[in-house]
Chains A and B, each alone.
Chain A
């Protein structure tokens, strides 16, 4: 008699379980997510969590002790060199597994596996850029170098040792929320991670935008809008440095004027691009300029700000080296840091190493393309893109002598002209870049540094160095194509070899500076040299941070660590310092209404400092934006959608040089507008937005800028939002809305190294840990953590909170 109720209640129970264990009915499997013993509650890390552990892995050759300090920085002491990378891999995975895997999945064009077909366009673009192809080439280079292979193999084994012992409840919370599991790590993933950095730092170009600008504007206007050098340039290697004549002499093709520069084709491709402000500051001052007499080295790489942070701080110590600094979860070694003898850091070189060639296929099969007066076979690479809840997507990519044909009929990139474009990217070339970091971690002197960094081919970096013997140095390092003037600025013809890169600039012609008389070296992504360097360097370089840093360093003496921190966190806006006087001088004040007058006076008395509370900074930024529109919008009204706009520096320096700058005139009116007309017009327009911003209570710079450090999924709950922080694009402290100093470091190379650093994040990648974002407030305040290079014998130091011992 009870069968019916039994069946019904059983069915309800099973129904409840199914709906709570899957996302058939609910948006998420709430039962498994919230179950206290396996779900997200297991990621709620106990306030007094004990990180100590005693672990055994047969892969280890000796003992490894890890001392975790009160900031959760691991100090890893290994008896055998490669063991240190095993434990580094293990710890990266322990604290950052989800992020390291996600970054490599994104790099490999595999995001669709996790988030479905909304990532398909990204995945196809990355596959077609040859990200996996490039990583596979890198992996082969790793295989060829026994030292780096040993390092990577140990690192991979360490990551997998963690993954293989991971229980369901210990899975990082993002896996639980998104519903997937980590896969095994391998050296290809490490290579993919490095290619992701190559993309971020050497993937930027504006070839399609520039091509269209060249086609749309007259040559004369084009030169005015896109000058090769700005007047205020203060290059990394100072003006006046004497360079030998070029050893590699690239020759422009004979038809270059008609077929290339004079070509009026439009190429309307919309690309996914890294942030063009991916840059950095670094400098080193020699002992002659410091109070202690020891060199000081500083570095702050400006990258996208995310949680978990790109960086993970650690000390790696073996009998052969002892290094401390910022590491990349995903790759072995210390990347930016110091060892017992020296310190090192990087800023992005920003050279154009990604060019496009127009390919002529014989027919729709893409099997042959016209090259050097014959039909040449393409190679096909089939990219299998797995998509969550959908069948696989097969993308067949044609490879030419230039590289993969990124855009063609199957992947248009928004293009409507029916053309095919192959990409030639330096990151496709074989290089053993990890060796640079390995050797820097071991470096004792200038010769070691030089030998180390010459291995870094891509992404090109300005490598700063200082060591205890007193040497300081800077090298605009990388392997760069030797280009004829203008080569690769626009899409090039791909029908013969004449437009190909003809060779690489030899390493011994790399611009560098070693112990210069001025007592410091510095770089902030500006053009590495002036025009006397015998190779073409292109035009896309930000000048102003470098200008300010050099001005300050030149004037400074008796420098202390605090002085360097003050410079690194300086919110002085040198761009505004140059631009505001132009506005003030040309404003028709009598035209301003009372309301406009009020905002104008804020600008007038602004001290050019982008501090958090500055209203002047907000007014200036809005005004500058409007001024740009007033000057250029008329000329651009009929332009193609995809087109290059002048850099801000171009407009500023043009009006500084010439108050009758051609573009100031509005071509749609009969009269000739002057600088004064444009400035006043722009201000009147700007006041509309300024007033709106003011009424919303957001006129203070920090509120207007609204800096945030977002979780990689953009989940707001896991992000740090609305940070009360100043700084800006043109300040040394280059904090924008979601981008800025991702790691600040100051190292004083006294006999007992004194080092400071901070990044906007925390050591733990777990949003349920108090170590997830515990550095952010300090970073906002411009404060630093002490970077403690722990020595043997300090195991009992009170800063040590936990000990993990690893043995075989």
Chain B
């Protein structure tokens, strides 16, 4: 239950904060959620990781689908040197999830120190 709440909270707050703040504020969100809702370090990591994976994956997939992947085709050629919109979406999700995962892990250790 804690896992699910943390997951949803991390994803929802990350979405909200990015409407106004830079992308890396997802790390603050993941850190705080993990610090306030105690879970085992690995589970916290997984929570942050999954939350942002799901959020960023679904956001980019939605955006790119509505765009008929016009942009993703082009940008994947620039960044990945191959025409692969899906890989670019995965990469995006990966970036968000790794940052949020480590931030959540740090958050869970912060809790334990108190």
Are B79 and A30 in touch, CB under 8 angstroms? yes
The answer, among A5, A17, A40, A718, for a CB contact under 8 Å with B41, is A5
Are A9 and B64 in touch, CB under 8 angstroms? no
Whether a CB of chain B sits under 8 angstroms from the CB of A375 is no
Are B63 and A41 in touch, CB under 8 angstroms? yes
Alpha-carbon separation in the docked complex, A13 to B113 (Å) = 18
Known: A715-B78, A769-B70. A17 touches B92 (CB 8 A): no
Are B63 and A2 in touch, CB under 8 angstroms? no
Are B99 and A717 in touch, CB under 8 angstroms? no
Task: Mark contacts of B22-50 with chain A using CB atoms, 8 A cut-off: 1 yes-contact digit, 0 otherwise.
Answer: 11100100010000000001000000000
Nearest chain B CB to A31 CB, angstrom units: 6
Q: Name the B residues within 8 Å of A17 (CB-CB).
A: 24, 27, 99
Contact residue range for chain B? Answer: 35 or more
User: Which one of B18, B56, B60 has the highest number of Cβ atoms from chain A below 10 Å of its Cβ?
Assistant: B60
Question: Which chain A residue has the least Cβ–Cβ distance from B24?
Answer: A17
Task: Mark contacts of B46-80 with chain A using CB atoms, 8 A cut-off: 1 yes-contact digit, 0 otherwise.
Answer: 00000000001001100110111011111101110
Whether a CB of chain B sits under 8 angstroms from the CB of A32 is yes
Are A6 and B77 in touch, CB under 8 angstroms? no
Question: Which chain A residue has the least Cβ–Cβ distance from B85?
Answer: A44
The answer, among B24, B68, B106, B113, for a CB contact under 8 Å with A770, is B68
Whether a CB of chain B sits under 8 angstroms from the CB of A444 is no
Question: Which chain B residue has the least Cβ–Cβ distance from A37?
Answer: B18
Interface residues contributed by chain A, number (CB under 8 Å): 44
From residue 21 to 47 of chain A, which have CB atoms closer than 8 A to chain B? 21, 28, 30-47
Alpha-carbon separation in the docked complex, A173 to B78 (Å) = 12
Alpha-carbon separation in the docked complex, A12 to B27 (Å) = 11
Whether a CB of chain B sits under 8 angstroms from the CB of A10 is yes
The answer, among B24, B31, B71, B77, for a CB contact under 8 Å with A43, is B71
Whether a CB of chain A sits under 8 angstroms from the CB of B86 is no
Are B23 and A13 in touch, CB under 8 angstroms? no
Task: Mark contacts of B90-111 with chain A using CB atoms, 8 A cut-off: 1 yes-contact digit, 0 otherwise.
Answer: 0110011011001101100110
Question: Which chain A residue has the least Cβ–Cβ distance from B81?
Answer: A717
The answer, among B18, B73, B106, for a CB contact under 8 Å with A38, is B18
Known: A13-B103, A16-B99. A47 touches B67 (CB 8 A): yes
Whether a CB of chain B sits under 8 angstroms from the CB of A3 is yes
From residue 738 to 781 of chain A, which have CB atoms closer than 8 A to chain B? 767-770, 772
Whether a CB of chain A sits under 8 angstroms from the CB of B112 is yes
Are A36 and B79 in touch, CB under 8 angstroms? no
Are B56 and A36 in touch, CB under 8 angstroms? yes
Whether a CB of chain A sits under 8 angstroms from the CB of B19 is yes
Q: Name the B residues within 8 Å of A35 (CB-CB).
A: 18, 23, 56, 92, 95-96
Known: A9-B109, A44-B63. A717 touches B78 (CB 8 A): yes
Are B78 and A20 in touch, CB under 8 angstroms? no
Are B24 and A48 in touch, CB under 8 angstroms? no
Alpha-carbon separation in the docked complex, A687 to B66 (Å) = 51
Are A32 and B71 in touch, CB under 8 angstroms? no
Are A768 and B74 in touch, CB under 8 angstroms? yes
User: Which one of A5, A21, A716 has the highest number of Cβ atoms from chain B below 10 Å of its Cβ?
Assistant: A5
Q: Name the A residues within 8 Å of B110 (CB-CB).
A: 2, 6
Alpha-carbon separation in the docked complex, A43 to B96 (Å) = 19
Alpha-carbon separation in the docked complex, A669 to B54 (Å) = 78
Known: A10-B106, A13-B102, A769-B70. A21 touches B75 (CB 8 A): no
Nearest chain B CB to A1 CB, angstrom units: 8
Known: A43-B71, A45-B67. A9 touches B112 (CB 8 A): no
Whether a CB of chain B sits under 8 angstroms from the CB of A384 is no
The answer, among A2, A37, A40, for a CB contact under 8 Å with B19, is A37
Alpha-carbon separation in the docked complex, A385 to B107 (Å) = 47
User: Which one of A28, A33, A768 has the highest number of Cβ atoms from chain B below 10 Å of its Cβ?
Assistant: A768
Q: Name the A residues within 8 Å of B31 (CB-CB).
A: 13
The answer, among A20, A33, A44, for a CB contact under 8 Å with B71, is A44
Task: Mark contacts of A59-79 with chain B using CB atoms, 8 A cut-off: 1 yes-contact digit, 0 otherwise.
Answer: 000000000000000000000
Are A36 and B63 in touch, CB under 8 angstroms? yes
Q: Name the A residues within 8 Å of B78 (CB-CB).
A: 177, 715, 717
Are B102 and A9 in touch, CB under 8 angstroms? yes
Nearest chain A CB to B76 CB, angstrom units: 8
Q: Name the B residues within 8 Å of A717 (CB-CB).
A: 73-75, 77-78
Q: Name the A residues within 8 Å of B73 (CB-CB).
A: 717
Question: Which chain B residue has the least Cβ–Cβ distance from A168?
Answer: B22
Q: Name the B residues within 8 Å of A39 (CB-CB).
A: 23
Q: Name the A residues within 8 Å of B64 (CB-CB).
A: 41, 44
Are A20 and B95 in touch, CB under 8 angstroms? yes
Nearest chain B CB to A46 CB, angstrom units: 4
Q: Name the A residues within 8 Å of B98 (CB-CB).
A: 16
Nearest chain B CB to A309 CB, angstrom units: 17
Known: A20-B99, A47-B66. A3 touches B113 (CB 8 A): yes
Are B79 and A32 in touch, CB under 8 angstroms? no
Question: Which chain A residue has the least Cβ–Cβ distance from B60?
Answer: A36
Are B63 and A9 in touch, CB under 8 angstroms? no
Q: Name the A residues within 8 Å of B102 (CB-CB).
A: 9, 12-13, 16
Alpha-carbon separation in the docked complex, A36 to B19 (Å) = 10
Alpha-carbon separation in the docked complex, A2 to B68 (Å) = 48
Nearest chain A CB to B41 CB, angstrom units: 7
Q: Name the A residues within 8 Å of B105 (CB-CB).
A: 9, 13
Known: A46-B67, A717-B77. A38 touches B109 (CB 8 A): no
The answer, among A31, A45, A177, for a CB contact under 8 Å with B95, is A31
Alpha-carbon separation in the docked complex, A43 to B67 (Å) = 9
Known: A5-B109, A41-B64. A13 touches B27 (CB 8 A): yes
Are B70 and A41 in touch, CB under 8 angstroms? no
Nearest chain B CB to A171 CB, angstrom units: 13
Alpha-carbon separation in the docked complex, A20 to B97 (Å) = 13
Q: Name the B residues within 8 Å of A46 (CB-CB).
A: 63, 66-67
From residue 762 to 804 of chain A, which have CB atoms closer than 8 A to chain B? 767-770, 772
Nearest chain B CB to A800 CB, angstrom units: 23
The answer, among B15, B24, B60, B96, for a CB contact under 8 Å with A21, is B24
Nearest chain A CB to B111 CB, angstrom units: 8
Question: Which chain A residue has the least Cβ–Cβ distance from B88?
Answer: A34
Alpha-carbon separation in the docked complex, A628 to B95 (Å) = 58
Alpha-carbon separation in the docked complex, A768 to B73 (Å) = 9
Alpha-carbon separation in the docked complex, A391 to B82 (Å) = 37
Nearest chain A CB to B110 CB, angstrom units: 5
Are B112 and A2 in touch, CB under 8 angstroms? yes
Task: Mark contacts of A272-312 with chain B using CB atoms, 8 A cut-off: 1 yes-contact digit, 0 otherwise.
Answer: 00000000000000000000000000000000000000000
Q: Name the B residues within 8 Å of A43 (CB-CB).
A: 71
The answer, among B15, B22, B74, for a CB contact under 8 Å with A32, is B22
The answer, among B15, B67, B74, for a CB contact under 8 Å with A718, is B74
Alpha-carbon separation in the docked complex, A17 to B22 (Å) = 11
Nearest chain A CB to B22 CB, angstrom units: 7
15 A/B residue pairs, CB under 8 Å, sorted by A: A2-B110, A6-B106, A13-B31, A13-B99, A13-B106, A16-B98, A16-B102, A21-B22, A34-B88, A34-B91, A36-B63, A36-B96, A47-B68, A770-B68, A770-B70
Lowest 4 CB-CB distances: which A-B pairs, in order?
A35-B23, A768-B71, A44-B67, A6-B109
Chain A interface residues (CB < 8 Å from chain B): 1-3, 5-6, 9-10, 12-13, 16-17, 20-21, 28, 30-48, 173, 177, 715-718, 767-770, 772
Chain B interface residues (CB < 8 Å from chain A): 15, 18-19, 22-24, 27, 31, 41, 56, 59-60, 63-64, 66-68, 70-75, 77-79, 88, 91-92, 95-96, 98-99, 102-103, 105-106, 109-110, 112-113
New contact pairs (10) apart from A6-B110, A30-B91, A39-B23, CB-CB < 8 Å: A13-B27, A34-B91, A35-B56, A36-B63, A37-B59, A43-B71, A44-B72, A717-B73, A717-B74, A772-B70
